[in-house]
Structure 1
Amino acid sequence: MKIDWAALGSVFGVSLVVTVALVGLFTLGIVGLSKKESATRAGGSATLAVSGAYLCFALCTAAVAYGIFLIVA
Protein backbone atom coordinates (compact mmCIF):
# COMPACT_ATOMS: atom_id res chain seq x y z
CA MET A 1 0.00 0.00 0.00
CA LYS A 2 1.39 3.36 -1.01
CA ILE A 3 0.17 6.69 0.34
CA ASP A 4 0.14 9.69 -1.98
CA TRP A 5 1.49 12.24 0.50
CA ALA A 6 1.15 15.16 -1.89
CA ALA A 7 -2.58 14.51 -2.32
CA LEU A 8 -3.02 14.02 1.41
CA GLY A 9 -1.22 17.29 2.12
CA SER A 10 -3.32 19.07 -0.48
CA VAL A 11 -6.56 17.82 1.05
CA PHE A 12 -5.34 18.80 4.51
CA GLY A 13 -4.37 22.30 3.36
CA VAL A 14 -7.64 22.97 1.55
CA SER A 15 -9.65 21.61 4.48
CA LEU A 16 -7.77 23.83 6.92
CA VAL A 17 -8.24 26.98 4.82
CA VAL A 18 -11.94 26.32 4.21
CA THR A 19 -12.56 25.56 7.88
CA VAL A 20 -10.85 28.75 9.06
CA ALA A 21 -12.72 30.79 6.43
CA LEU A 22 -16.07 29.29 7.38
CA VAL A 23 -15.51 29.88 11.09
CA GLY A 24 -14.39 33.45 10.36
CA LEU A 25 -17.46 34.09 8.24
CA PHE A 26 -19.75 32.75 10.95
CA THR A 27 -17.95 34.91 13.52
CA LEU A 28 -18.54 37.99 11.37
CA GLY A 29 -22.23 37.12 11.32
CA ILE A 30 -22.31 36.87 15.11
CA VAL A 31 -20.50 40.22 15.42
CA GLY A 32 -22.99 41.81 13.03
CA LEU A 33 -25.90 40.62 15.12
CA SER A 34 -24.25 41.89 18.30
CA LYS A 35 -23.88 45.31 16.67
CA LYS A 36 -27.65 45.26 16.15
CA GLU A 37 -28.18 44.74 19.87
CA SER A 38 -25.86 47.58 20.87
CA ALA A 39 -27.37 49.93 18.26
CA THR A 40 -30.89 49.12 19.45
CA ARG A 41 -29.90 49.94 23.03
CA ALA A 42 -28.41 53.24 21.85
CA GLY A 43 -31.57 54.10 19.92
CA GLY A 44 -30.04 53.81 16.44
CA SER A 45 -30.47 51.56 13.46
CA ALA A 46 -28.03 48.88 12.40
CA THR A 47 -29.55 47.72 9.13
CA LEU A 48 -26.16 47.44 7.41
CA ALA A 49 -24.76 45.29 10.20
CA VAL A 50 -27.82 43.04 10.21
CA SER A 51 -27.80 42.72 6.42
CA GLY A 52 -24.11 41.82 6.51
CA ALA A 53 -24.75 39.28 9.27
CA TYR A 54 -27.51 37.61 7.28
CA LEU A 55 -25.27 37.57 4.20
CA CYS A 56 -22.51 35.88 6.23
CA PHE A 57 -24.96 33.27 7.51
CA ALA A 58 -26.29 32.69 3.99
CA LEU A 59 -22.74 32.17 2.69
CA CYS A 60 -22.06 29.71 5.53
CA THR A 61 -25.23 27.83 4.67
CA ALA A 62 -24.27 27.75 0.99
CA ALA A 63 -20.78 26.44 1.81
CA VAL A 64 -22.18 23.68 4.03
CA ALA A 65 -24.78 22.75 1.41
CA TYR A 66 -22.07 22.61 -1.26
CA GLY A 67 -19.96 20.36 0.97
CA ILE A 68 -22.91 18.02 1.49
CA PHE A 69 -23.52 18.04 -2.27
CA LEU A 70 -19.91 17.04 -2.88
CA ILE A 71 -20.17 14.19 -0.39
CA VAL A 72 -23.43 12.86 -1.80
CA ALA A 73 -22.58 13.24 -5.50
Structure 2
Amino acid sequence: MSLDWSALGQVTVVSIGATVAVVVIFTLGVLALSRREDSTATGAGTGGTAALAGAGLCFLVCAGAVLYGLYLIIPQFHN
Protein backbone atom coordinates (compact mmCIF):
# COMPACT_ATOMS: atom_id res chain seq x y z
CA MET A 1 0.00 0.00 0.00
CA SER A 2 1.37 3.37 -0.92
CA LEU A 3 0.17 6.81 -0.02
CA ASP A 4 0.29 9.80 -2.31
CA TRP A 5 1.62 12.27 0.24
CA SER A 6 1.47 15.21 -2.13
CA ALA A 7 -2.26 14.64 -2.76
CA LEU A 8 -2.84 14.38 0.99
CA GLY A 9 -0.98 17.65 1.48
CA GLN A 10 -3.04 19.34 -1.23
CA VAL A 11 -6.30 18.18 0.36
CA THR A 12 -5.11 19.44 3.74
CA VAL A 13 -4.14 22.87 2.40
CA VAL A 14 -7.38 23.29 0.43
CA SER A 15 -9.56 22.21 3.34
CA ILE A 16 -7.81 24.56 5.78
CA GLY A 17 -8.00 27.40 3.26
CA ALA A 18 -11.70 26.82 2.59
CA THR A 19 -12.42 26.67 6.32
CA VAL A 20 -10.61 29.93 6.98
CA ALA A 21 -12.38 31.59 4.03
CA VAL A 22 -15.85 30.55 5.24
CA VAL A 23 -15.09 31.68 8.80
CA VAL A 24 -13.80 35.06 7.57
CA ILE A 25 -16.85 35.60 5.35
CA PHE A 26 -19.21 34.63 8.18
CA THR A 27 -17.36 37.02 10.49
CA LEU A 28 -17.78 39.82 7.94
CA GLY A 29 -21.51 39.08 7.90
CA VAL A 30 -21.73 39.31 11.68
CA LEU A 31 -19.72 42.53 11.58
CA ALA A 32 -22.09 44.00 8.98
CA LEU A 33 -25.07 43.13 11.17
CA SER A 34 -23.34 44.78 14.12
CA ARG A 35 -22.69 47.93 12.06
CA ARG A 36 -26.35 47.96 11.00
CA GLU A 37 -27.47 47.69 14.60
CA ASP A 38 -25.16 50.53 15.60
CA SER A 39 -26.34 52.78 12.77
CA THR A 40 -30.02 52.18 13.49
CA ALA A 41 -29.57 52.60 17.26
CA THR A 42 -27.89 55.99 16.96
CA GLY A 43 -30.30 57.25 14.32
CA ALA A 44 -27.48 58.24 12.01
CA GLY A 45 -27.36 56.97 8.47
CA THR A 46 -29.96 55.48 6.19
CA GLY A 47 -31.12 52.70 8.48
CA GLY A 48 -28.37 50.28 7.58
CA THR A 49 -29.88 48.75 4.47
CA ALA A 50 -26.48 48.46 2.81
CA ALA A 51 -25.06 46.72 5.87
CA LEU A 52 -28.03 44.35 5.93
CA ALA A 53 -27.58 43.55 2.24
CA GLY A 54 -23.86 42.92 2.79
CA ALA A 55 -24.57 40.64 5.73
CA GLY A 56 -27.15 38.74 3.71
CA LEU A 57 -24.68 38.31 0.87
CA CYS A 58 -22.00 37.03 3.26
CA PHE A 59 -24.38 34.51 4.81
CA LEU A 60 -25.57 33.43 1.37
CA VAL A 61 -21.98 32.75 0.31
CA CYS A 62 -21.41 30.71 3.48
CA ALA A 63 -24.57 28.68 2.86
CA GLY A 64 -23.47 28.11 -0.73
CA ALA A 65 -20.09 26.83 0.42
CA VAL A 66 -21.74 24.43 2.86
CA LEU A 67 -24.17 23.16 0.21
CA TYR A 68 -21.33 22.69 -2.29
CA GLY A 69 -19.40 20.69 0.32
CA LEU A 70 -22.44 18.49 0.90
CA TYR A 71 -22.78 18.03 -2.86
CA LEU A 72 -19.18 16.84 -3.03
CA ILE A 73 -19.55 14.45 -0.09
CA ILE A 74 -22.92 12.80 -0.89
CA PRO A 75 -22.53 10.45 -3.88
CA GLN A 76 -26.27 10.29 -4.69
CA PHE A 77 -26.10 13.89 -5.93
CA HIS A 78 -23.62 12.95 -8.66
CA ASN A 79 -25.98 10.62 -10.55
CA distance in 2, matches of 1:4, 1:21: 26
Q: TM-score, normalised by structure 1?
A: 0.95
CA distance in 2, matches of 1:51, 1:70: 28
CA distance in 2, matches of 1:22, 1:71: 17
**Deviation (angstroms), 1:18:** 0.4
| Aligned residue number for residue 32 of structure 2 | 32
Q: TM-score, normalised by structure 2?
A: 0.88
**Deviation (angstroms), 1:3:** 1.1
| Aligned residue number for residue 9 of structure 2 | 9
| Aligned residue number for residue 54 of structure 1 | 56
**Deviation (angstroms), 1:13:** 0.6
CA distance in 1, matches of 2:16, 2:64: 18
Letter in 1 for 2:33: L
RMSD across aligned C-alpha pairs, in angstroms? 0.8
Unpaired runs of 5+ residues, structure 2, are: none
Letter in 2 for 1:39: S
Unpaired runs of 5+ residues, structure 1, are: none
How many residues in Structure 1 have an aligned counterpart in Structure 2? 73
CA distance in 1, matches of 2:66, 2:14: 15
The runs of 4+ residues in structure 1 deviating greater than 4 Å are: none
Q: Does 1:66 align with 2:55?
A: no
**Deviation (angstroms), 1:22:** 0.3
